[in-house]
Amino acid sequence: MSPGLRNQKHGRRRSARVVRAAIVLAALTTLAAPQAVAQPYPIYGAIRVEYDEAGGFAFFGNAINPESDAARGGRWQAFEKDSSIYWHPLVSGGHANQIGGAIRAKWGELGWENGALRYPTSRELPTRKPGRFGHFEGGTIHWSWATGAHNTWGAIRDKWATLSWEDGRLGFPVVDEFRAKNNGAGQHFEGGSIYWSIDTGARVVAGPIRDIWAGQNWENGRYGYPISDEYDYNAGRAQDFQGGRIEWRPR
């Protein structure tokens, strides 16, 4: 065989090997490349930013509706894994916020962004004790497995916050805020209660003193509303009420 023919054959073999290697490399590259998730509805703008920052497709799944109008010039979009994202240009510096699960359900019961809580100002976040919370323009919703989801707002929320929220001695709220005597309000927590009236402010009532007060029909009884928090007194504890003092000593 002439040297020319041998060189042509070797050249063809090398070319065939190069082509096969290129095909294998292309196949491996295709397998390794991340696959774009086809969304049935587009996600864009501030809602897209929050979608990506809060976990993307793995957390939210697909959008289940197009981006839609919300109250007072806002926007919202819902996703298949029990979450929504809400945005308003004047809330959170124009950053959108995720809300989901039991906290979203409670917010919905209260009227969504048209209710007293208005728009979310944070995404849903973990609490220091096992649970979740979300802040809103008008208050906060906390959730735990033991207590469910409950809202706090106004002076009662502010008082609870000074006591380290759910991480303090009161723990999580176990009911929503309720109306009390003379346009006051109250709320029960795992470790006690907070009662508020315009004349007395927000006061914590807990432990044996709370039990005694409850036995006298709470604020509707002869003691009325608390006018102080509990304090040390004569080797025990005491608390002042509109109708007098309740004292307690360990036996």
**pLDDT, tens digit, 9 for 90 and up, residues 202-236:** 999 999 999 999 999 999 999 999 999 999 999 99
Q: How far apart are CA 228 and CA 238, in angstroms?
A: 9
> Nearest 5 degrees, angle CA 40-CA 43-CA 46?
165
- 157 neighbors 115 (Cβ within 8 angstroms): no
For residue 77, give both structure tokens: 């979009």
CA distances from 186 to 31, 83, 191, 192 (A): 60, 30, 14, 11
**pLDDT, tens digit, 9 for 90 and up, residues 154-191:** 999 999 999 999 999 999 999 999 999 999 999 999 99
Which candidate, 200, 176, 196, 203, places its Cα nearest to that of 188?
176
Domain boundaries, the chain: 38-151, 153-251
Q: What is the pTM of this model?
A: 0.84
- 134 neighbors 103 (Cβ within 8 angstroms): yes
For residue 208, give both structure tokens: 């044996």
92 conformational bin, left if phi > 0, alpha if psi -120 to 50, beta if neither: left
**pLDDT, tens digit, 9 for 90 and up, residues 87-138:** 999 999 999 999 999 999 999 999 999 999 999 999 999 999 999 999 999 9
Q: What is the pLDDT averaged over residues 14-27?
A: 40
In our burial notation (b when 16+ CB lie closer than 10 A, e otherwise), range 1-15 reads eeeeeeeeeeeeeee
Laid out side by side, the sheet with 178-180 consists of: 178-180, 184-189, 192-197, 201-205
In our burial notation (b when 16+ CB lie closer than 10 A, e otherwise), range 197-235 reads beebebbbbbeebbeebeeeebbeeebbbbbebbeeeee
